């Protein structure tokens, strides 16, 4: 396919930004904001930018925020509320603790200028280090490299990108804070970037988490998730990607009061067919609730025209994800914000099978679902570097190291990359992207958070919309109809309790 000039301009680096000592002139249609300390923000027209000021203090929001306790508030009201509560810069951490959305936030006063992003790093931020003369930040390293005329780091290209297994990895994600360029790093969650001093500092977890019971976690999550959906429905037209899994089902349960207005869909891609349980269960579930279900068929690969802009938008873009994005470009309803169940792994101890082993970079690479890249030496080295800092944090906070790994690596680096690549076709809402919810999940003992019997998720569904449990969750392939229903009812017995 070929794009018109206006459509090409609209899709190029869609929903991205670049921040530095000057505006980026080549993006003539992008928004421009003077931030502080001579820093200039250039932002794509489809990336919301909201500014709040009070005296000599300023907050600048990239993306959107949701307040589950005040669902009527928009970005401007939420931002002004945060700013009014700030006495010292560190108050911004508490001010954002209960908020959801997908965002990056810049705080500026006469003494400090800080940047932080959402708790799962889904509004991705990269930044230059002292290896380069000026400070630049952006949604992805390619735009900084384009502006500064940088070439990829030869060591990264040889040891990682040039490794034979790299081309074989369908959904590989980058480890630690590594980028393809020397002097550009990824800002990981739970940290802020001091823009004056060009230094990164961890701010969470800042204390030891107290253990809570499963019932308390269920109640907290159900309340917050419901508020997130109420807030989102007042702001956006919504869509919901539905599968046969627990994560999708739990997110769906929070949508009961706003369900008639949502566009429900399931994608057919990779080796899926209309007979795949993900497809069959999702269709039967949604239609059984009296709602309309849609299928989006994705091609096996991108056509040349779409591939050109997709690859240019994000350095190292995934070919498989690009084919899915091509299907969404054709069939996904434009301008709807897509609800996804990703991120609820904090309730399930996703990597619990490694908990009885000594944690090493090699173990993390083996657990990380990165296919053949698990044996790559550079991947293991960067997981080891992340581990060296995170282990002390884990010991101090009581959060298991593999829980931190899930949040700061899998979500930020894998899911963050996925959402960045798909910014070309959709904005995304992950309702779990809240520090309050993450802390609640991490505060429950691991033995109560198994993946096979996810007690917390089941409790949330029972509290919010128990009818969505009428259909099996993740039924075995080949079992359907009455047999699947009977098997599902038999499997429910460990959860049949009052929360």
What is the edge-to-edge ordering of all strands in the sheet holding 31-34?
Answer: 31-34, 40-43, 17-20, 137-138, 126-128, 184-186
Residue 397 resides in a domain: no
CA distance linking residue 124 with residue 315, whole number of Å = 13
What does the pLDDT read at residue 495? 44
- Same domain? For 194 and 288 the reply is no
The rounded distance, in Å, linking the Cα atoms of 125 and 280 is 38
**pLDDT at site 499:** 34
Examine the domain organization and report whether 315 and 225 are in the same domain.
yes
Domain assignment of residue 142, yes or no = yes
Do 164 and 240 sit in the same domain of this protein?
A: no
User: What SS3 state is found at 270?
Assistant: coil
Same domain, 178 and 289: no
Kindly state the helix (H) or strand (E) to which residue 392 belongs, with its residue range: helix 377-397
For residue 181, is it within any domain?
Answer: yes
The pairs formed by 455-458 with CB atoms below 8 angstroms and a separation of 24 or more are 455/214, 455/494, 455/495, 456/214, 456/217, 456/218, 456/221, 456/347, 456/348, 457/246, 457/247, 457/249, 457/250, 457/344, 457/347, 457/348, 458/495
Q: What is the pLDDT of residue 478?
A: 59
User: Is 158 a member of any domain?
Assistant: yes
**Which residues neighbour 245 within 8 Å (Cβ) at sequence distance 6 or greater?**
278, 341, 473, 474
Domain count, the chain: 2
Phi, psi of 230 (to 5 degrees): -65, -45
> Are 19 and 123 a contacting pair, CB within 8 Å?
no
- Domain match, 191 and 264 both: no
Which pLDDT value is given to residue 106?
A: 98
The residue out of 142, 169, 202 marking a domain boundary is 202
Would you say residue 401 lies in a domain? no
CB 294, CB 264: distance < 8 Å? yes
The number of beta carbons lying within 10 Å of the beta carbon of residue 121 is: 28
Residue closest to 252 by CA, chosen among 226, 278, 274? 226
Q: What is the pLDDT of residue 71?
A: 98
**In a domain? residue 117:** yes
Question: 206: left (phi > 0), else alpha (psi -120 to 50), else beta?
Answer: alpha
Q: How far is CA 151 from CA 148, 180, 183, 315, 421, in A?
A: 9, 9, 11, 12, 21
Name the 3-class secondary structure at 10: helix
Q: Out of 152, 167, 202, pick the residue that ends a domain.
A: 202
Note whether 114 and 182 are same-domain residues.
Answer: yes
The encoded tokens of residue 278 equal 């993900």
Q: What is the pLDDT of residue 164?
A: 87
> Domain holding 144: CATH number?
3.60.20.10
Tell me the CA distances in angstroms from 425 to 15, 117, 332, 428, one per residue in order: 10, 22, 8, 10
Distance CA 421, CA 312 (A): 10
* Alpha-carbon gap, residue 291 to 399, rounded angstroms: 40
Same domain, 231 and 122: no
Question: Domain ends where: 202, 234, 266?
Answer: 202
Give the per-residue pLDDT at 200: 98
The residue ranges of the chain whose pLDDT is under 70 are 352-357, 451-452, 477-499
Domain that holds residue 325: 214-345+416-495
Q: Where are the alpha helices (DSSP H) in 207-337?
A: 214-235, 246-253, 277-288, 304-313, 319-331
| Same domain as 221, residue 172 | no
**Could you give the CA distance from residue 352 to residue 369 in angstroms, rounded to a whole number?**
14
DSSP code, position 409: I
- Please state, in angstroms and rounded to a whole number, the distance separating the CA atoms of residues 243 and 474: 9
Q: Domain check: are 186 and 219 in the same one?
A: no
CATH code for the domain of 252: 3.40.50.620
Residues 154 and 277 occupy one common structural domain: no
Query: Do the domain assignments include residue 359?
Result: no
Examine the domain organization and report whether 436 and 459 are in the same domain.
yes
- pLDDT in the model for residue 392: 95
Question: Same domain for 154 and 258?
Answer: no
Asked, for residue 116, whether it belongs to a domain, the answer is yes
């Amino acid at each position: 396919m070929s794009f018109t000039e206006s459509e090409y301009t609209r899709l190029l680096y869609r929903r991205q930004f670049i921040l530095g000592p000057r505006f980026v002139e080549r993006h003539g249609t992008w928004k421009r904001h003077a931030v502080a300390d001579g820093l200039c923000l250039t932002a794509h027209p489809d990336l919301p930018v909201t500014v709040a000021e009070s005296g000599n203090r300023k907050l600048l929001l990239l993306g959107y925020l949701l307040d589950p306790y005040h669902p009527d508030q928009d970005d401007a009201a939420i931002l002004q509320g945060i700013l009014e509560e700030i006495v010292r810069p560190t108050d911004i951490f508490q001010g954002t603790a209960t908020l959801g959305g997908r965002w990056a936030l810049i705080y500026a006063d006469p003494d400090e200028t800080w940047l932080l992003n959402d708790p799962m790093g889904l509004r991705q931020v990269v930044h230059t280090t002292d290896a380069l003369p000026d400070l630049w930040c952006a949604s992805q390293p390619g735009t900084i490299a384009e502006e500064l005329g940088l070439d990829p780091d030869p060591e990264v290209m040889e040891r990682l990108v040039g490794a034979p297994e790299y081309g074989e990895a369908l959904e590989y994600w980058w480890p630690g804070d590594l980028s393809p360029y020397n002097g550009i790093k990824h800002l990981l969650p739970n940290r802020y970037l001091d823009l004056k001093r060009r230094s990164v500092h961890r701010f969470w977890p800042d204390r030891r988490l107290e253990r809570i019971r499963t019932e308390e976690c269920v109640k907290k999550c159900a309340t917050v998730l419901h508020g997130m959906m109420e807030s989102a429905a007042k702001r956006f037209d919504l869509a919901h990607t539905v599968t046969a899994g627990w994560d999708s089902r739990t997110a769906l349960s929070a949508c009961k009061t706003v369900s008639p207005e949502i566009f429900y869909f399931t994608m057919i891609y990779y080796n899926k067919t209309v007979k795949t349980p993900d497809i069959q269960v999702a269709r039967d579930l949604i239609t059984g609730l009296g709602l309309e279900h849609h299928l989006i068929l994705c091609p096996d690969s991108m056509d040349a025209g779409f591939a050109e802009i997709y690859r240019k938008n994000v350095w190292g873009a995934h070919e498989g994800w690009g084919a899915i994005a091509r299907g969404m470009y054709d069939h996904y309803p434009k301008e709807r914000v897509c609800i996804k169940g990703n991120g609820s792994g904090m309730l399930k101890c996703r990597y619990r099978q490694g908990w009885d082993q000594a944690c090493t970079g090699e173990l993390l690479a083996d657990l990380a679902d990165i296919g053949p890249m698990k044996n790559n030496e550079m991947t293991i080295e960067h997981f080891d570097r992340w581990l060296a800092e995170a282990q002390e944090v884990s010991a101090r906070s009581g959060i298991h190291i593999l829980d931190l790994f899930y949040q700061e690596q899998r979500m930020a680096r894998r899911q963050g990359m996925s959402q960045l690549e798909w910014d070309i076709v959709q904005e995304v809402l992950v309702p779990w992207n809240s520090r309050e919810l993450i802390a609640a999940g991490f505060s429950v003992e691991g033995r109560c958070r198994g993946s096979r019997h996810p007690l917390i998720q089941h409790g949330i569904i029972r509290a919010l919309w128990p009818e969505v449990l009428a259909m099996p969750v993740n039924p075995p392939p080949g079992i359907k109809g009455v047999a699947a229903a009977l098997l599902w009812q038999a499997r429910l017995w460990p959860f049949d309790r009052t929360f």
